[in-house]
Amino acid sequence: MIFGFLCIWLSTIFTVAEGFFFHDFFNLLEHSFYFLSSILFLVSLKKEILVSNH
């Protein structure tokens, strides 16, 4: 779960950075990290559901 929040935090940093330099590169990083954060949150929730069922 912590890594999901870290990815969102990094995405906001990349959003600001893309306004200053390397627009395409930081835009790709921003959206990649948003995607990665959603995957990490999904895995985290699935783990919680599986652990709580046993």
The predicted pLDDT at position 1 comes to 79
Predicted confidence (pLDDT) at residue 54 exceeds the cutoff of 70: no
Global pTM?
0.81
Q: How many domains does the chain have?
A: 1
Q: Read off the pLDDT band of 50 (50, 70, 90).
A: confident
Residue 4 contacts residue 40 (beta carbons within 8 Å): yes
Domain holding 40, by residue range, is 2-52
